[in-house]
Amino acid sequence: MAYANKVQLITYIDRLGGSDTQALHSVLKQNFPNAFGGVHLLPFYYPMDGEDAGFDPIDHTALDNRLGSWDDIQALGQDYDLMADMIVNHMSAQSNPFKDVLAKGQQSEFWDLFLTKNKVFPAGASAEDIAKIYRPRPTSPFTTLPVGNSGATEDFWTTFTSNQIDVDVTSQQGKDYLERILQAFAQNNIKLIRLDAAGYAIKQAGTSCFMMEETFEFIQNLSRRANELGMTCLVEIHSYHKIQCEIARRCDLVYDFALPPLVLHSLINQDFAPLHTWLEMAPKNCITVLDTHDGIGIVDVGAEGEQPGLLTPEQIDTLVEKIHENSHGESRKATGAAASNVDLYQVNCSFYSALGSDDYQYLLARAIQFFAPGTPQVYYGGLLALENDMDLLAKTAVGRDINRPYLTPEKVQEAAQKPVVQALLKLCELRNTHACFAGEYSQALNADRYTMAWTQGTETLTLTIALTDLQATIVSGDDVYTLAEWLN
């Protein structure tokens, strides 16, 4: 393992109490000195403030100079295992290579770098072909743009937005582009790579263009090259839970995206059976999350055709409505048609607000996450148990901004003193230091309690939750803690 099995932080460099990488480094040292073994730095490439908050890079190998330099990233990497996003599927329409393509068409030296409809469907695409394409959003997968000076147009593949032009990763130019990114990471102390939207990277006519056998091969080859350079790859894909298990068997790491909705369902309904079922089969080579820079995923617990999901459609509908209720309707304003970045599979809401800003239930949710198999990540807004940022949502009208706040150093210091945050930091310390988390996981569910346990040699660490009132106890040898006490 190229990284420490300790709690990781997910954050933007400029949103957690500072404006650049050096400031973030100081904030972490001053406020959370022993909380994290690793930090996932959300896109810091030029520009960090594009249409999709850095996920539409103009130059994927250049640090936005407003955030500092690669030297600053290297320095941060001396204290933390750093994770960076590798946006394999697309780059910005504002990039110089794509501008050259628009100006010169097929005469551009960069023509082979980008994917067009004609490259995948040289004989044309039928309505049936288009309908088969798996879509993360309800828009067309293509954007028609003028190229050259002849008045000709070209349908460019744009899986996400018209400003995110898909890269032809099967071309030599596409392969060279990805290699340059890997080299930049390897030279600057990056230990983990999050492969963003990798499931969409390979397109073939007559298929869903999502997580095909060829996609697995692409991810495996890319991961192998990263491994050769001393890095580990985390595949970021929202999909049916059995597909996630298959991905895990063939990749370094996957996300446990089913965990957030299952934890919410468990606490809201005091029904731990779906969570228990999932953790019996869930991959162990995973990164666990409750919250990220995106919304709370729903597709990960849903059905796939005739195959049942981890939750029934009725349970999912009830859960989504309860999130809207707990957040006093705020999440409804940021989700679906209400948001300018319409996602088909996410509810946009902070996890703390999704639980009705209930300190105890929030702390219990984190305890469940930390005891679940995998390496836990905590989003910066979740670290500080923040509610929805309705002011930012109103300003940008971008649904996911409800959970992407900009925090001053004073706001960080103030929030860090909240009892729920101090209790969460105690949980981080337990997860980072207890030897049992390097052992074997087991669980048990009966009529009145749910138990999650880790055993290393003769020592066992357990989290036991009473189903009647959700009171939780942590037992380590002769030491017994009630979770509620940590809030006092």
Query: Measured between alpha carbons, how far is 48 from 151 in angstroms, rounded to an integer?
Result: 33
The pLDDT score that the predictor gives to residue 339 is 54
- Strands, DSSP E only, in 211-355? 232-235, 253-256, 286-288, 296-297, 346-347
- The long-range contacts involving 133-137, CB below 8 angstroms and separated by at least 24 positions, are 133/208, 133/209, 133/210, 134/200, 134/208, 134/209, 134/210, 135/344, 136/160, 136/200, 136/238, 136/343, 136/344, 136/345, 137/341, 137/342, 137/343, 137/344
The pLDDT score that the predictor gives to residue 488 is 84
The pLDDT score that the predictor gives to residue 139 is 85
Q: Is 60 annotated as a binding residue?
A: no
User: What residue spans define the domains of the chain?
Assistant: 8-88+172-437, 96-166
- Strands, DSSP E only, in 307-405? 346-347, 375-379
Stated pTM of the model: 0.95
The pLDDT score that the predictor gives to residue 342 is 43
The residue among 220, 292, 239, 403 whose CA lies nearest residue 40 is 292
Instruction: Give me the DSSP letters along 154-214.
Output: EEEE-SS-TTEEEB-TTSHHHHHHHHHHHHHHHTTTEEEEEEETGGGS---TTS-SSS-HH
The pLDDT score that the predictor gives to residue 287 is 98
Q: Same fold for the domain at 8-88+172-437 and the one at 96-166?
A: no
Catalytic option among 14, 155, 168, 196: 196
Catalytic option among 168, 236, 300, 401: 236
Q: Is 478 annotated as a binding residue?
A: no
Q: Is 380 annotated as a binding residue?
A: no
The pLDDT score that the predictor gives to residue 341 is 43
Query: Measured between alpha carbons, how far is 368 from 15 in angstroms, rounded to an integer?
Result: 27
Neighbour tally for 287: CB within 10 Å: 23
The residue among 322, 300, 297 whose CA lies nearest residue 240 is 300
Tens-binned pLDDT, residue by residue, of the chain (488 aa): 678 999 999 999 999 998 999 999 999 999 999 999 999 999 999 999 887 888 889 999 999 999 999 999 999 999 999 999 999 999 999 999 999 999 999 999 999 999 999 999 999 999 999 999 998 878 899 999 999 988 899 999 999 999 999 999 999 999 999 999 999 999 999 999 999 989 999 999 999 999 899 999 999 999 999 999 999 999 998 889 998 999 899 999 999 999 999 999 999 999 999 999 999 999 999 999 999 999 999 889 999 999 999 999 999 999 999 999 999 999 999 987 665 444 557 899 999 999 999 999 999 999 999 999 999 999 999 999 999 999 999 999 989 999 999 999 999 999 999 999 999 999 999 999 999 999 999 999 999 999 999 999 999 999 999 999 999 999 999 999 999 999 98
The pLDDT score that the predictor gives to residue 231 is 97
Neighbour tally for 135: CB within 10 Å: 17
Q: Is 294 annotated as a binding residue?
A: yes
Q: Is 113 annotated as a binding residue?
A: no
Q: Is 228 a catalytic residue?
A: no
Q: Is 49 annotated as a binding residue?
A: no
- Strands, DSSP E only, in 239-371? 253-256, 286-288, 296-297, 346-347
In eight-state DSSP terms, residue 47 is P
The pLDDT score that the predictor gives to residue 338 is 60
Q: Is 40 annotated as a binding residue?
A: no
Are 424 and 366 a contacting pair, CB within 8 Å? yes
Q: Is 343 annotated as a binding residue?
A: yes
Place of tokens 């946009």: 348
Q: Is 236 a catalytic residue?
A: yes
CATH number of 96-166: 3.90.400.10
The residue among 484, 367, 384 whose CA lies nearest residue 427 is 367
The pLDDT score that the predictor gives to residue 220 is 94
The pLDDT score that the predictor gives to residue 51 is 78
- The long-range contacts involving 435-443, CB below 8 angstroms and separated by at least 24 positions, are 435/459, 436/460, 436/461, 436/476, 437/5, 437/461, 438/5, 441/284, 441/373, 443/276, 443/279, 443/280
| Radius of gyration of the chain from its Cα atoms, rounded to whole angstroms | 22
The CATH H-level (homologous superfamily) assignment of domain 8-88+172-437 is Glycosidases (3.20.20.80)
Q: Is 400 annotated as a binding residue?
A: yes
In eight-state DSSP terms, residue 111 is G
Which residues are CB-neighbours of 112 under 8 A, at least 6 positions away?
168, 171, 172, 173, 174
CA 159 to chain centre: 18
Report the helix count and the strand count for the chain, using DSSP H and E.
Answer: 18, 21
Q: Is 79 annotated as a binding residue?
A: no
Q: Is 196 annotated as a binding residue?
A: yes
| Structural element, H or E, at residue 92 | strand 90-92
The token duo for 152 is 């000709």
Angle among Cα 32, 35, 36 to the nearest 5 degrees reads 110
The residue among 251, 333, 268 whose CA lies nearest residue 295 is 333
